[in-house]
Amino acid sequence: MEVPWKLPHIILPKPASSSMRPQGAVRRGAIKSTLKEELQEKSDGSSEKGDEVGEEKLSPEEESASEPVNLEVIGTNTGPTMFRLPSQDSLSGENTVSEEMLAEEARKKSKEEEAAAKERAAQRQQLAIEELVQSERNYLRMLQICSVDIRSSLQQLQPPLANLDRLFLYIEDVMEVSSRLLSLLDRRPSGEPQFLQTLCDSFLSLSSDIEAAYKEYLAYYNQISIVENSYKQKEALWNEIVRIIKASAPEVNASSLSFFLVMPVQRIARYPLLLQTIQKHTDTSHPAFKLLEKTALTSIALNCRINEYKRFREVADKYKKTETLTIKDKINRLNPHSIAKKTARFSQQLKHETGIKPKLVDEEFDAFEGFFNILEHGILVLLENVETYLLHLQRFLDCRTEEFDLDMDGEKSPICYKEITTALRQWILPTFEKRMRTLIHKPLCALRDLLVGPRNLIRKRLDKLLDYEMIESKSTLSYDEQAVADTYRTINTLLLNELPRFNGLALQMIWSMLGTFSCMHKDLAADMEQLFQSFAQQLPHSHLHPSAFWEWAESAVLESAKKLQTVCQNVEDTLNAPVVQPLSPSSQRRLKQLTDKHGSGKIYQVASTVVGSRDLDLNLGRGELVAILSEADTRGDKRRWLVDAGGRRGYAPSSKLIRYHQAMEDPPPSPHLIVPLDVTGKRRHSYTPESQPMRVVRQPYFQVIAAYDFTARGNHEVSLRVGEPVCVLEPYDKRGNREWSLVEAISGQRGYVPSNYLSIKPVEARPPGFVF
């Protein structure tokens, strides 16, 4: 067993020339002795100077350094030798006390610094909140000065400023939402702890309204700048505007309208900065910190959506414009770049049509575009019908029948009709026409004009799609190619977002106008009923029962309508009958070819030159012959007919096609009059029985009979025998199929029989019934 051995006490004197403190435990002991003396002096209240003059008192460090140090050697024969101070245990306890005191002082200092930092953060937070509220108040005051004081002064200028209302468009919406925000913030003083909660709740509740107001203003701000620049072109006018601005707001020293009108653009971008500043100086343990963080993120997202909307509007405004260019202007615009771009698009389109390359399909967009095309066609057809309706109404009003004296004095009925017609023309129908033009025709015209923008965007999307398909497969894109891809994606996204909304609003407008149209006719019927009630006792048929009167009125109207339709058809046939001109040999060959292929009833002649402006349109010269294949295009538009021009097939406008009547060399003789063969001489224009006797030929009669035996297969059919006479009631069935005819047999039974089982037989005398 190894026994530790001790060295004798060794006194380590302090070097006289060294001012350094002992190392290790010796230094810690010296420091501890100093602290103990300081504590002892504080406890005694004062330090006594007990030492006599000339006697030098050593410091604790010097005393500890001058005392002998006993070293205990611990070690073994084989291990290292270690030394230990005899006072090491007592010094370690004193060190622990001093470290705790230092740590306590450090904690106190840290708490003080933390409290000071929180106080500074609270002050900065309060300053940021006050800045937000006060800047919002000043911002609203500036907008009120601009839109009220300055605007009212500008409206008094003579001559009136052009486009002045456009200059302040959408600014009322911005002021309204800013005023609402301030009213919510003023409900609680800004110094209260709960004000931060109120601020966040107010901003979040108005975020959608703020976005709706500011996005329209920012999207329209470029037009505001254009209007202001137009005023600057006139120096005298602009000087007067500047004078009004300085007189209305002398405290801000503004020299242009843009000083005020640009404020909303700056304000919406400042909301995230102010909210983030408040969030930066708000403690994370604050109850409203999470809500404040959400509010700041909402303001950032709001600005992003507004910028995206503004970018979409700029693209839409760029491509939806319709330019009316002359041929010279179009030629001047041609350059190698545009020619190469259009050639590439045409090549890409050919590849799609021939199936060489598949087309990029977007089913969602195709559905929206198809509905838009149907809606566009319906709006145009409805507008055309309304214009025709108004034209007929105007022609009726122009026909002043009451101004004619029909020499019917003493007859009550004509006088009543004249008074009724006068009231209709001077009171009821003019009012109805005015309402019709205001409530139906004008909105329809505006809706038709709105169709131009989406139509141009759809066409531009097709062009950009062809460009995009050519660069889609590339891994890296150049700057210009990236711009093409971004433009296509922007237009496509814009149409996918806005086209459904446009379709829905347009459809809603159409339904509203149709409802208004119905209500207007209901009011018209009520006014006419009121008018006729005053003359009811003086009119004929007034003694009839209401049911009998309406039956008479219906039959009279239908009979008059049938007569009017006959007259209109005769007039139309007379007006549309073309003057038959001799055909060239090539036209005669085409006529024979088309007649043999399609029949004479399908032959039409071009009334005026046709120049194709759309896909699959034909270019036709005046007088060319075509055969009608379909009286509508693939979209159901009856204004474009599908025609065969002798090998070429395409579309032509129906308004420029008239039915072709072939000239007959020997017109058929009249079945009623026969000119004697022995009559010679020049034909007269007037018929004279004495000089040219004519004999009347009896008109032949025809009888429909059954050509074959037919056995009925059901209750809706009737059985016939060969030669049995029948009466044809309808030459078709209920579905309009002419393969079946509704007949009545001699027995009185009615039913359907095949039309090809019937034949016509001439008879000399008129049979008692069943005449064809």
CATH of residue 160's domain is 1.20.900.10
Mean pLDDT of 594-615: 83
Average predicted confidence (pLDDT) for the chain = 78
- Cα distance between the two ends of the chain: 151
pTM of the model: 0.49
Confidence at residue 287, expressed as pLDDT on a 0 to 100 scale: 87
Residue 275 belongs to some domain of the structure: yes
Confidence at residue 253, expressed as pLDDT on a 0 to 100 scale: 83
pLDDT for 311-332, tens place per residue? 888 887 777 766 677 777 778 8
Whether the pLDDT of residue 18 is over 50: the answer is no
Whether the pLDDT of residue 60 is over 60: the answer is no
Whether the pLDDT of residue 460 is over 50: the answer is yes
Are 164 and 313 members of one domain? yes
User: How far is C-alpha 61 from the geometric centre of its chain's CA atoms?
Assistant: 90
Tokens standing for residue 546: 């209401």
pLDDT for 665-698, tens place per residue? 444 444 433 444 444 444 433 344 444 444 444 4
Out of 38-47, 52-61, 353-362, 531-540, which region has the weakest mean confidence (pLDDT)?
52-61
Tell me how far apart the alpha carbons of residues 271 and 59 are, in angstroms, rounded to a whole number: 66
Are 269 and 344 members of one domain? no
Whether the pLDDT of residue 650 is over 70: the answer is yes
Question: Coil, helix or strand for 657?
Answer: strand
Whether the pLDDT of residue 301 is over 80: the answer is yes
Confidence at residue 405, expressed as pLDDT on a 0 to 100 scale: 60
Out of 213-227, 499-513, 649-663, which region has the weakest mean confidence (pLDDT)?
649-663
Are 327 and 272 members of one domain? no
Whether the pLDDT of residue 418 is over 80: the answer is no
Mean pLDDT of 121-145: 90
Q: Which domain holds residue 244?
A: 125-319
Q: Which of 109, 131, 132, 128 is nearest to 120 (CA)?
A: 128
Are 178 and 308 members of one domain? yes
Confidence at residue 696, expressed as pLDDT on a 0 to 100 scale: 43
Q: Which of 32, 41, 95 is nearest to 61 (CA)?
A: 32
Residue 54 belongs to some domain of the structure: no
Question: Coil, helix or strand for 628?
Answer: strand
Local confidence band at 745 (pLDDT 50, 70, 90 cut-offs) = confident
Confidence at residue 93, expressed as pLDDT on a 0 to 100 scale: 61
Residue 211 belongs to some domain of the structure: yes
Tokens standing for residue 30: 């010296």
Are 132 and 278 members of one domain? yes
356 class by beta-carbon count within 10 Å (0-12 exposed, 13-18 middle, 19+ buried): exposed
Tokens standing for residue 273: 């900065």
Tell me how far apart the alpha carbons of residues 404 and 445 are, in angstroms, rounded to a whole number: 37
Reply yes or no: is the peptide bond before residue 159 cis, omega within 30 of 0: yes
Question: Coil, helix or strand for 625?
Answer: strand
Question: Torsion over CA of 46, 48, 54 and 56, rounded to 10 degrees?
Answer: -70
Confidence at residue 439, expressed as pLDDT on a 0 to 100 scale: 92
Q: Cα dist. 711→408, 620, 722, 731, 747 in Å? A: 63, 54, 11, 19, 15
How many residues would you count in the chain? 772
Above pLDDT 70, what percent of the chain? 76
Mean pLDDT of 39-45: 49
Confidence at residue 314, expressed as pLDDT on a 0 to 100 scale: 83
Q: CA angle, corner 162, sides to 159 and 167, nearest 5?
A: 130
Per-range mean pLDDT, top range of 2-11, 239-248, 398-407: 239-248
Confidence at residue 441, expressed as pLDDT on a 0 to 100 scale: 93
Domain holding 396: CATH number?
Answer: 1.20.1270.60
Tell me how far apart the alpha carbons of residues 567 and 574 are, in angstroms, rounded to a whole number: 11
Beta-carbon contacts of residue 436 (< 8 Å; ≥ 6 apart):
386, 389, 390, 393, 520
Tokens standing for residue 655: 């308004």
Mean pLDDT of 118-141: 89
Which position has the higher pLDDT, 535 or 437?
A: 437
Helices 195-205, 207-232: crossing angle, 10 deg rounding: 70
Tell me how far apart the alpha carbons of residues 647 and 481 are, in angstroms, rounded to a whole number: 43
Are 331 and 443 members of one domain? no
Mean pLDDT of 356-379: 89
Out of 144-148, 325-329, 548-552, 724-728, which region has the weakest mean confidence (pLDDT)?
325-329
Local confidence band at 303 (pLDDT 50, 70, 90 cut-offs) = very high
Which position has the higher pLDDT, 274 or 615?
A: 274
Are 147 and 245 members of one domain? yes
Strands 625-630 and 673-674 come out as unpaired
Which position has the higher pLDDT, 679 or 148?
A: 148
As beta bridge partners, residue 703 has 761, 771
Tell me how far apart the alpha carbons of residues 624 and 331 are, in angstroms, rounded to a whole number: 31
Mean pLDDT of 470-477: 84
Tell me how far apart the alpha carbons of residues 420 and 530 are, in angstroms, rounded to a whole number: 11
Beta-carbon contacts of residue 643 (< 8 Å; ≥ 6 apart):
604, 618, 626, 627, 628, 629, 649, 650, 651, 652, 657
Residue 29 belongs to some domain of the structure: no
Confidence at residue 406, expressed as pLDDT on a 0 to 100 scale: 55
Whether the pLDDT of residue 726 is over 50: the answer is yes
Above pLDDT 90, what percent of the chain? 21
Strands 740-744 and 727-730 come out as antiparallel
pLDDT for 193-204, tens place per residue? 788 899 999 999
Tokens standing for residue 531: 């008018």
Are 326 and 396 members of one domain? no
**Residue 513 near residue 439, CB atoms below 8 Å:** yes
Whether the pLDDT of residue 91 is over 70: the answer is no
Mean pLDDT of 458-480: 86
Helix (H) or strand (E) holding 750: strand 750-754
DSSP states of 456-502 = HHHHHHHHHHHHHHHHTT-SS--HHHHHHHHHHHHHHHHHHHHHHHH
Are 387 and 436 members of one domain? yes
Residue 722 belongs to some domain of the structure: yes
Domain holding 696: CATH number?
Answer: 2.30.30.40
Are 310 and 413 members of one domain? no
Residue 57 belongs to some domain of the structure: no
Tell me how far apart the alpha carbons of residues 129 and 188 are, in angstroms, rounded to a whole number: 13
Local confidence band at 513 (pLDDT 50, 70, 90 cut-offs) = very high
Whether the pLDDT of residue 78 is over 50: the answer is no
Helix (H) or strand (E) holding 704: strand 701-706
Q: How many domains does the chain have?
A: 5
Out of 247-261, 477-491, 580-594, which region has the weakest mean confidence (pLDDT)?
580-594
Are 626 and 600 members of one domain? yes
Are 287 and 182 members of one domain? yes
Q: For 346-412, what is the HEC assignment?
A: HHHHHHHHHCCCCCCCCHHHHHHHHHHHHHHHHHHHHHHHHHHHHHHHHHHHHCCHHHCCCCCCCCH
81 class by beta-carbon count within 10 Å (0-12 exposed, 13-18 middle, 19+ buried): exposed
Helix (H) or strand (E) holding 522: helix 479-534
DSSP states of 262-300 = THHHHHHHHHHHHHHHHHHTS-TTSTTHHHHHHHHHHHH
Q: Which of 507, 528, 520, 384 is nearest to 445 (CA)?
A: 384
Whether the pLDDT of residue 417 is over 70: the answer is yes
Q: Which of 645, 651, 697, 702 is nearest to 672 (CA)?
A: 697
Tokens standing for residue 329: 């202007």
As beta bridge partners, residue 649 has 644
Tell me how far apart the alpha carbons of residues 461 and 360 are, in angstroms, rounded to a whole number: 12
Tell me how far apart the alpha carbons of residues 180 and 209 are, in angstroms, rounded to a whole number: 10
Residue 204 belongs to some domain of the structure: yes
Beta-carbon contacts of residue 719 (< 8 Å; ≥ 6 apart):
710, 711, 712
Residue 77 belongs to some domain of the structure: no
